[in-house]
Structure 1
Amino acid sequence: MSDLSTLPTSPANTRTEIGVIRLGYHGSAEVARRIVRLAGPGHADVRTSPYDIADPFRGLYEGRHDVVIVKFSLREPDLACSRTLTYDDRAAVVGAGHPLAGRASVSIEELADYDAFRCPGSLPGYVWDEVVPPRTPAGRPIHRRHAVTDIPAMMRLVADGGAVHISLASLADVAPAAVRIVPVEDLPPAPVALAWRRGVVLPPHVHRFISAAEAGASR
């Protein structure tokens, strides 16, 4: 359930009515566009900008983002979340020459044979445990050995065969030709929502955008 009903809103005025909606995202911008389409036409200008997965909420705390896209379950006490708006299927990112690259799909049990990435920066560890589970359902450990820096560096390591990245299908939008995105058949899709700072005044046009996206997701 969204926290919109309890969030303070600023009084309508000319500045907020014509203000932009500053939307942060990580990975594929297509997920952001999907949410904008859910909200429908008639909203203020939505300007998207990427955030660093190693410090995902800095833009909110510093006032550079009004809302950010989050995936999986967020339980930060100073952040509020919308309802689930859409889903992002699970996938493995592997090098083009990897033994799994030509598969139509793979199991998380198979991915335990290969080194993966550990939690980046200040991203909550419980979120990363949903991205890259510490163990498979059968109890096999997933070796989260490699540091996450940025997407290009991760992709280079994956392309060279040094690691696999257990991630999301939307990364296909930003993946270089040297890697393949293979669906993971036995992990549930990631719920996608919007998050904002709890207790911070939300301008009316941002409030309406979130409400409209929730309504669009319910149809």
Structure 2
Amino acid sequence: MEPAATARPPARDRALGRQLRDDLEPHHRAMAAAVARATATARGIDGVLHVGFSTPPAGEIVMKAAEALHTSHPDLAVEICEVPLSDPYGQLRKGEFDVQLTEFPVREHDLGEGPALLTEERVLAVAASHPLSVRTAVSLEDLASVPLLTVDGEVPDYWLEQHVPTHTPGGRPIARGPAVTNMQEALMLVAGGKGALLSVAHTAPPTTPGPASPTFRSRTRSPSATAWCGGPRTTPARSGPSPGRP
């Protein structure tokens, strides 16, 4: 399938997108430095920067930066939006996002990606009633004992295999559960015992009833980085323009 054509975003938004891509870090002190540099770039500029995020931890990072940036430069807005599971790169390609903080891997010829900014442990979210819920850790072979929720939508095969593998490392088949399109739907089905979900730690808030999330004994980790339109050797400043947005 050919990717949608993209158009060059405004220079002010592209500059800020590049600044966030280069500077955002998972720790608060690094976050403060990133915001300070983004503010310097934004000084005297009015506009909106659109940022997508794929996981709650990534969304929290972007939100903290956006709040601090708005305080120091109230005429600049940073709008953030969760990326749907069913279409992990579609909004970025359509120009609805200037930059996106997303989980690896990203193997799209028309998308560039930066270095890892955030690394989270992977967990297996299961219903509180499931036998695996009482464990503090599970192995990848345990995936054969519970159906995994799958994703319904425009998702690349490699992305689907990363999030919903078909077999364990030992070759045992992994059953499929219901298909979902977003994270809230997935957590609801997990809590109801309809299947399990491979996700990063802190996907569900601590007060969410139902799902339990044992970690993997192998300490499997999932890095996240920024992605943008324009191919692997470009930066957001060289990306194509964003149709549909001024």
Change (3 A) 1:47 1:16: farther
Deviation at 1:197, TM superposition (A): 0.7
> How many residue pairs end up in the alignment?
198
Separation in 2, partners of 1:100, 1:18: 51
- Counterpart of 1:116, as a letter, is L
* Bigger relative CO (Cα 8 Å, ≥ 6 apart): 1
Equivalent position to 2:78, from 41, 46, 58: 46
**CA deviation after TM superposition for structure 1 residue 202, in Å:** 4.0
Q: Which moved more, 1:115-124 or 1:77-86?
A: 115-124
Q: Is the 8 A contact 2:127 2:191 kept in 1?
A: yes
Q: Assess if the C-alpha contact under 8 Å between 1:96 and 1:180 holds in 2.
A: yes
Distance 1:161 1:80 in 2: 38
Aligned counterparts of 1:150 and 1:37: Cα–Cα separation in 2? 23
Deviation of residue 17 (structure 1)? 3.6
Q: Summarize the Cα distance change of 1:16–1:167 in structure 2 as closer, same or farther, 3 Å threshold.
A: farther
Flag structure 1 segments of 5+ consecutive residues without an equivalent: 1-6, 207-219
Aligned to 1:68: 100
Corresponding residue of 2:202? 170
Shift in Å, 1:46: 3.2
- SS of equivalent residue, structure 1 residue 84: strand
Divergent runs of 4+, >6 A: 11-16, 36-43
Unaligned runs of 5+ in 2: 1-7, 16-40, 240-246
TM-score of the superposed pair, with normalisation by structure 2: 0.67
- The offset of 1:192, in angstroms, is 0.4
Taking only aligned residues, the RMSD between alpha carbons, in angstroms, comes to: 3.5
- How far off is 1:146 after superposition? 2.4
TM-score in terms of structure 1 length = 0.75
Alignment of 1:26-105 (within 5 A): 26-28=54-56, 30-34=57-61, 45-105=77-137
SS of the residue corresponding to residue 74 of structure 1 reads coil
Residue 21 of structure 1 is matched in structure 2 by: 49
2:230 touches 2:236 (CA, 8 Å); kept in 1?
A: no
CA contact (8 A) 1:60 1:68 kept: yes
